[in-house]
Amino acid sequence: MEGDTLSGASGRQALLPSVRPTSSLRGLSDPRRLLLAACLAPAAVVFAAFWLLPMAWLVMLPARKGWETYFAVLTSPRYLQSLTNTLLLSVSVTLATVVVGAAVGLFLARTPFRGRGLLLSLLTLPLSFPGVIVGFFVILLGGRQGLIPWIAEQLGGEGFAFAYGLLGLFLAYLYFSLPRSIATYTAAAGALDMQLEEAARSLGASRLRIALDVWVPALAPTTLACGAIVFATAMGAFGTAFTLASKFEVLPITIYGEFTNYANFALAASLSIALGLLTWLVLFLARRLTGGSDVAGAAGGGV
Amino acid sequence: MTIALTATAHRPSPILLAVTIAVTLFTIVPMVLSVTAGLINNYSVGIRSGFTTRWVVEVWSAYGDTVWRSLLLAACCVAGTLLLGVPAAYALARSRSRWLRLFEELLTLPVAVPGLATALALILVYGQLRGFRGSFAFILAGHLVFTLPFMVRTVGAAFARPELTALEEAARSLGANFRQRFLGILVPAVLPSIAAGSLMVFTLSVGEFNLTWMLHTPLTRTLPVGLADSYASMRLEVGSAYTLLFFAVVLPVLWFLQWIVQILERRHGT
């Protein structure tokens, strides 16, 4: 796992074991309690000043324009369209990432060959790229002067610049999501029990049956945790969509536009709350379903 | 019969192989394209136009300051999360108060909530403080709340190990005061986790865009902000050369830090 510690995402996996208090210090004496409070104080002050307080302010802001502002994302057709776009994109990227990531992870975990570690490092390298670079990559691939439209033209076809539409966004999101899932699935598939699979095979099960009856259930917890992280990251991704200046508008871009172009702070706040709640909810549910392993520290990243 | 079956068990599925090859190409081709495009004279003519370093030189003079600023920002962010996060991680690992569990939950929220929302909130509350708004510290504040949970969780998990609790109790019963226990025993024992947490924080901070794009001013541009600016307003060769600069400066720094983390982990035998 060369490229592993390098990344935010696998960092998130490192967050999995949650901090458990030890029972030996149950009856804390008062000076001891004071000491722990003093240890916590600096972090608490900075967190309260630069996150809790501003966030509370943000949450209150739409109320000044009337309570209906909170529901703008549902009541205005434009914002609802933007939300639908974002959900559609995030769900399809998550599905594709999970399937493709699992395939690559299974292959890498059980096919020994020279340079496997190097290949894994290479495949997880994009974890340290800012989202804007990923957007630029897709412009190089499918923009007006991109590689693929150029190849299509050389072959006598029509150069089709796909970078600035839904396909471009999809490929870019896939690019920054895949490394996470590849790292996760390679680790999970490596720990997979081979006996069940051998048994199924000796009973004459086809490859498809083995995939459906052995791999899918065995990798289900990984899929749930990884899928939630990928989904949350895709929902909040801003840099990539910003670079592509896509015709397919996603919610982070809408929020940015409301804030910068129209100085409509209350609406920007309302849309941010909707996006934040939705993302948090998905992570929360995934954590519940996977039985308490921590996926809360999940979304965001450098994207 | 059985022998034939075991043989197929270790033959990789052709579908998995094909997917892996496709993904490898998908990952590598854009990197190669971008590096090449940053080094050729004219992108629309292609490699025939010949190689040059003039775009790299141009980028260095226009955006060179963003490289140092980003590295400095990431270093400050690591220092900040160490000072704030390591003691906090200790407190969270040694207490089972319900309030602290709630605080721990809250602390991870800036990671779950999109960075854009955090940035908006910071601007709404502190935007009027001109001196702060226009300074490097404003971006640092955003990066700190975003990266703090990574440090706290990573180090906290290490502090909570039972053998460390026992070690600390032993030191206490022998009369070691808190400073001696903390700096002399606990911190050295969790050093690999501290290093791993620092690497995570550095990586996240150096590539952070969602928050930084909203928080920056023309005088406090960072590397990702400069990249977005060059992609939007400069020719393709310049954007590529700038990306090349990111690879050439930031990736070696990250690899060096990763190497240090691995050495520490090996020495501690974890």
Which residue from B34, B145, B204 is facing A47, i.e. has the nearest CB?
A: B145
Residue A80 has pLDDT above 90, yes or no: yes
Note the pLDDT of residue B218.
87
A:B CB pairs within 8 Å: 335
Task: Give the minimum alpha-carbon distance from B58 to chain A in angstroms, rounded to a whole number.
Answer: 19
Closest residue by Cα to residue B143 from B96, B75, B193: B75
CATH code for position A264: 1.10.3720.10
> Is A56 domain-assigned?
no
Question: How many residues are given for chain A?
Answer: 303
Note the pLDDT of residue B17.
93
% chain A with pLDDT above 70: 86
User: CA B225 to CA A136: how far, in whole Å?
Assistant: 13
A96-112 residues labelled b (16+ CB within 10 A) or e (exposed): bbbebbbbbbbbbbbee
Note the pLDDT of residue A21.
46
Closest residue by Cα to residue B219 from B138, B99, B142, B155: B138
Of 1.10.3720.10, 3.40.50.150, 3.90.1150.200, 1.10.1040.50, which CATH number belongs to B63-268? 1.10.3720.10
User: CA B35 to CA B56: how far, in whole Å?
Assistant: 11
What pLDDT digit, counting tens, does each position of A264-298 carry? 888 999 999 999 999 999 998 988 888 755 443 33
Note the pLDDT of residue A3.
34
Q: Contact B187/B194 with Cβ under 8 angstroms?
A: yes
User: CA A211 to CA A197: how far, in whole Å?
Assistant: 9
Residue A186 has pLDDT above 90, yes or no: yes
Q: Contact B144/B77 with Cβ under 8 angstroms?
A: yes
Q: Which residues of A touch B10 (CB under 8 A)?
A: 110
Note the pLDDT of residue A208.
82
> Is A191 domain-assigned?
yes
Chain A from 215 to 244: CB within 8 A of any B CB: 232, 235-239, 242-243
Note the pLDDT of residue A179.
95
> Is A125 domain-assigned?
yes
Lookup result for tokens 């590849």: A182
Which residue from B83, B118, B160 is facing A19, i.e. has the nearest CB?
A: B160
DSSP one-letter code for B53: S
> Is A165 domain-assigned?
yes
Q: Is the CA virtual torsion B19, B21, B22, B24 positive or negative?
A: positive
| Average pLDDT of every residue of chain A | 83
Q: How far is CA A109 from CA A141, A197, A249, B83, B212, in A?
A: 30, 15, 38, 39, 37
Q: Which of B2, B29, B94 to mutate to test the interface with A (most CBs of A within 10 A)?
A: B94
Q: Contact B73/B212 with Cβ under 8 angstroms?
A: no
Closest residue by Cα to residue A183 from A96, A236, A122: A122
Note the pLDDT of residue B269.
64
* Average pLDDT of the segment spanning A165-194: 92
Task: Give the minimum alpha-carbon distance from A147 to chain B in angstroms, rounded to a whole number.
Answer: 8
How high is the ipTM of this complex?
0.87
Note the pLDDT of residue A302.
39
Note the pLDDT of residue B176.
86
Closest residue by Cα to residue B124 from A177, A73, A290, A272: A272
> Is A11 domain-assigned?
no
Note the pLDDT of residue A292.
56
What pLDDT digit, counting tens, does each position of A103-130 carry? 999 999 988 889 998 999 999 999 889 9
Q: Would you call A178 and B23 a contact, using CB atoms and an 8 Å cutoff?
A: yes
Q: Which residues of A touch B9 (CB under 8 A)?
A: 197-198, 201
Confidence label for A101 from pLDDT (cuts 50, 70 and 90): very high
Token duo for residue A88: 């559609």
> Is A299 domain-assigned?
no
What pLDDT digit, counting tens, does each position of A203-256 carry? 888 888 888 888 888 899 899 999 999 999 999 999 999 999 888 899 999 999
Contacts of B119 (CB under 8 A, 6+ apart): B142, B210, B211, B213, B214, B215
All residue ranges of chain B with pLDDT < 70 are 1-11, 269-270
Note the pLDDT of residue A169.
95
Lookup result for tokens 């209906």: A68
Of the given ranges (A26-30, A93-97, B88-92), which has the lowest mean pLDDT?
A26-30
Note the pLDDT of residue B112.
83
Q: Which residues of B touch A50 (CB under 8 A)?
A: 122, 141-142, 144-145
User: CA B41 to CA B52: how far, in whole Å?
Assistant: 6
Domain of A280 in residue numbering reads as 70-289
Q: Is the CA virtual torsion B128, A252, A123, B243 positive or negative?
A: negative
Q: For chain B, say whether A60 makes contact (Cβ under 8 Å).
A: no
Note the pLDDT of residue B96.
81
Q: Contact A251/A235 with Cβ under 8 angstroms?
A: yes
Note the pLDDT of residue B219.
87
Task: Give the minimum alpha-carbon distance from B125 to chain A in angstroms, rounded to a whole number.
Answer: 6
Task: Give the minimum alpha-carbon distance from B135 to chain A in angstroms, rounded to a whole number.
Answer: 15
Note the pLDDT of residue A70.
87
Domain total for chain A? 1
Query: Helix %, strand %, coil % for chain B, to 5?
Result: 85, 0, 15
User: CA A171 to CA A93: how far, in whole Å?
Assistant: 8
Q: For chain B, say whether A117 makes contact (Cβ under 8 Å).
A: no
* Average pLDDT of the segment spanning A152-175: 89
Q: Would you call A201 and B16 a contact, using CB atoms and an 8 Å cutoff?
A: no
Note the pLDDT of residue A205.
83
B181-204 residues labelled b (16+ CB within 10 A) or e (exposed): bbeebbeebbbbbbbbbbbbbbbb
Which residue from B16, B19, B209 is facing A302, i.e. has the nearest CB?
A: B209
Backbone angles phi, psi at B40, to 5 degrees: -105, 155
Task: Specify the amino acid at residue B243.
Answer: T
Confidence label for A28 from pLDDT (cuts 50, 70 and 90): low
Confidence label for A197 from pLDDT (cuts 50, 70 and 90): confident
Q: Contact A94/A178 with Cβ under 8 angstroms?
A: no
Q: Which residues of A touch B263 (CB under 8 A)?
A: none
